[in-house]
Amino acid sequence: MSQLWVDTGQGYMASDVLSETWRTSLQPITRFRQFCDVQAAIGTGAGEKYVWPIFGDTVDNGSRRLDETQKMPETSFPMYQGEVVMSEYGISVPSTLKYETMSQYNMPAVITKTLKNDANRSFDREAHAAFDSTILRAVGSSTATISLTDNSTPSGANNVNMLKGHVKTLRDIMEERNIPVFDGEDYMCVARPTTFSPLVDDLESVFQYTTEGYTRIVNGERGRYSSIRFVTQTNVESEGWSNGKSDAAYFFGADTVTEAIAVSEELRGKIPDDYGRGRGVAWYYIGAFAITHANTTNEESKRQARIIKWDSTT
């Protein structure tokens, strides 16, 4: 496939075909990143800080009924600016002409796959960091009770497994807060597989007997219960809570995290040096992830928070 690489004149070899194929192959294995809203920040000379508008709901929630002679009332809605500083991401794997020629394996393909897995973990961890900055923290107790705080700090140690009652309570909280659903019908929850273990039997039963009109719509989806779809992830390490009964989980709907992209992820080949003996391939990206509703200056802005973290102090 060497004929696909073209010298860009900027210190590296590029292949639009390979980069597009590689980029497409990343999509089915992402977990947190798949829920981000993409903002195209493509262009040069615009500065490293990217800014986008964020709109809230109308301030006046009163009646909209009008008397015949009444003047049309007016209201307003909050508008904020989200901002993030763009960063470079990437890593390379060096190789040699002899290594590629003599190896019994297709080393360019092996390196490309390895870089794909590395990029997947990197992007998901960056997206997770944005999800993890939510102000809404839920700590469970008994079989259904939730203690919710909105100051980025959980109220105490979480000493229970995540159970059906907790899931229903969290769904009610999201609905009461008017958090928009993800797909027009359901909310989402992302966590490590062991976090869902107490729910697995119920989820499998629900999936088995509610197949009509239900299909899995996102990567890593495990099942659905009480209008929440559950997605497993292993790109982000366990938080290692002291009691070991549960782990971090993120409940959310739509409009959660923004991904600003200046340069989409791509493969870059090293221009061969040392008379063609020195080789290498890298992945490269310019962008950033940030929680969309990050303004917490007052109660109104706090009500716009879209993500609830199942959390613990230890």
Number of independent structural domains in the chain: 1
Task: Give the Å distances, CA to CA, from 58 to 74, 79, 105, 293.
Answer: 10, 10, 61, 16
Question: Could you tell me what percent of the chain has a pLDDT over 90?
Answer: 56
Per-residue b or e along 89-116, where b marks 16 or more CB atoms closer than 10 Å to that residue's CB: bbebbebbeeeeeeeeeebbeebbeebb
Whether residue 32 is predicted with pLDDT greater than 80 in this model: the reply is: yes
In a domain, 197, yes or no: yes
Assign 88 a pLDDT band (cuts: 50, 70, 90).
Answer: very high
- Please state the length of the chain: 314
Q: Is 125 exposed, middle or buried (0-12, 13-18, 19+ CB in 10 A)?
A: middle
pTM of structure: 0.87
In a domain, 32, yes or no: yes
Amino acid at the residue 108 = P
Instruction: Output the pLDDT for position 52.
Output: 83
In a domain, 25, yes or no: yes
Residues 78-92 have a mean pLDDT of 89
The residue ranking higher by pLDDT, 276 or 62, is 276
Tokens 């210190």 locate to: 11
Instruction: Output the pLDDT for position 2.
Output: 47
Residues 44-50 have a mean pLDDT of 73
Maximum pairwise Cα distance, the chain: 88
Whether residue 212 is predicted with pLDDT greater than 60 in this model: the reply is: no
Q: Is 65 exposed, middle or buried (0-12, 13-18, 19+ CB in 10 A)?
A: exposed
In a domain, 129, yes or no: yes
Instruction: Output the pLDDT for position 1.
Output: 45
Instruction: Output the pLDDT for position 301.
Output: 82
In a domain, 59, yes or no: no
Residues 34-52 have a mean pLDDT of 79
Instruction: Output the pLDDT for position 207.
Output: 61
Best CA proximity match to 121, nearest among 244, 30, 37? 30
Whether residue 71 is predicted with pLDDT greater than 60 in this model: the reply is: yes
Element of type H or E holding 73: none
Whether residue 232 is predicted with pLDDT greater than 80 in this model: the reply is: yes
In a domain, 96, yes or no: yes
What is the rounded average pLDDT for all residues in the chain?
88
CATH for 162: 3.90.1690
The residue ranking higher by pLDDT, 105 or 11, is 11
Residues 54-77 have a mean pLDDT of 84
In a domain, 60, yes or no: no
The 8-class DSSP code of residue 179 comes to P
Residue-number span of the structural domain to which 47 is assigned: 9-53+83-314
pLDDT digits (tens, 9 = 90+) for 263-307: 999 999 999 999 889 989 999 999 999 999 888 888 888 988 999
Cβ–Cβ under 8 Å, residues 301 and 78: yes
